[in-house]
């Protein structure tokens, strides 16, 4: 017997709609959350992949226009780099985590058992599908407002980053440029396995330059790297 995703996700999906601050038909919102693994186990129901395809284009258009307007003196190559950083899988997954999107996405048992709700690829793809759903339901201007709100913080820092909004790569590049060598990370975790919190310190030349926390080691390390990047920039007298 097949399962309709609405029967599984109804109330939680409505909560996500409230977080987004955008009106969406419940069935359309649930479709945007339906991963192919769940669809397969539910008897071959529609997946969110078409909405993801659409949302990727909407996201790219909005981000490209925003960067074009914000950075009138930057050339095409710089704008392309900043766009890549803003719409990278890592960046979108980080945004998805601020919405707790992993707790809403519908996944098959296999994906659930292998940490699917926190996989960067699933989170970023689902976020794009949600954006696609918003565009279908409300048009470009409403989708633009949502995208600019979600990616706003990323756009603010995109010009300063190195490879694709990866703070660990960026701080390593900066540390090498300043002759300080490799960046090391010291990470500790506290709390039960299902609700663990990690704290990371970015250590450069024997000195703690940044600290970050998060529900996963990689998130805590990225936060620490971001803090260290700002610290090193300030110490080096760079804007």
DSSP-derived secondary structure for 167-222: HHHHHHHHHHHTT---EEEEEEEES-GGG-EEEEEEEETTEEEEEEEESSHHHHHH
Q: How far apart are CA 193 and CA 8, in angstroms?
A: 26
49 is in an annotated binding site: no
State yes or no: 125 annotated in a binding site: yes
Of these residues, 128, 166, 221, 223, which one is catalytic? 128
**The two three-digit tokens of residue 121, written as one number:** 């690829």
Catalytic option among 14, 18, 41, 56: 56
Cα maximum dimension of the chain: 65
d(CA 195, CA 200): 17
- Our answer to whether residue 160 is catalytic in this structure is no
Check if 75 is active-site. no
CA distance 25 to 118: 26
Does the annotation place 52 within a ligand binding site?
yes
Active site residues: 56, 128
Binding positions for Mg(2+) are 52, 125, 128
Binding positions are 52, 125, 128
């Amino acid at each position: 017997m097949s399962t309709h995703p609405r029967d599984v996700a109804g109330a939680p999906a409505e909560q996500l709609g409230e977080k987004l601050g955008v009106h969406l038909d419940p069935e359309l919102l649930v479709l945007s959350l339906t991963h192919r693994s769940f669809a397969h186990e539910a008897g071959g129901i529609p997946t969110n992949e078409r909405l993801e395809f659409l949302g990727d284009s909407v996201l790219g258009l909005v981000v490209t226009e925003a960067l074009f307007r914000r950075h009138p003196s930057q050339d095409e190559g710089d704008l392309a780099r900043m766009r890549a950083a803003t719409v990278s899988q890592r960046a979108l997954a980080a945004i998805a985590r601020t919405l707790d999107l992993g707790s809403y996405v519908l996944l098959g048992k296999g994906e659930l058992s292998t940490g699917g709700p926190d996989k960067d690829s699933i989170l970023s793809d689902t976020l794009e599908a949600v954006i696609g759903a918003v565009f279908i339901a409300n048009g470009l201007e409403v989708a633009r407002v949502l995208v600019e709100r979600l990616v706003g913080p990323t756009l603010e820092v995109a010009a300063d980053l190195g490879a694709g909004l990866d703070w660990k790569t960026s701080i390593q590049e900066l540390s090498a440029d300043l002759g300080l060598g490799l960046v090391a990370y010291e990470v500790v975790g506290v709390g039960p396995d299902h609700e663990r919190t990690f704290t990371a310190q970015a250590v450069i030349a024997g000195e703690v330059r940044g600290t970050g926390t998060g529900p996963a080691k990689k998130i805590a390390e990225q936060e620490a790297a971001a803090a260290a990047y700002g610290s090193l920039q300030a110490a080096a007298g760079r804007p």
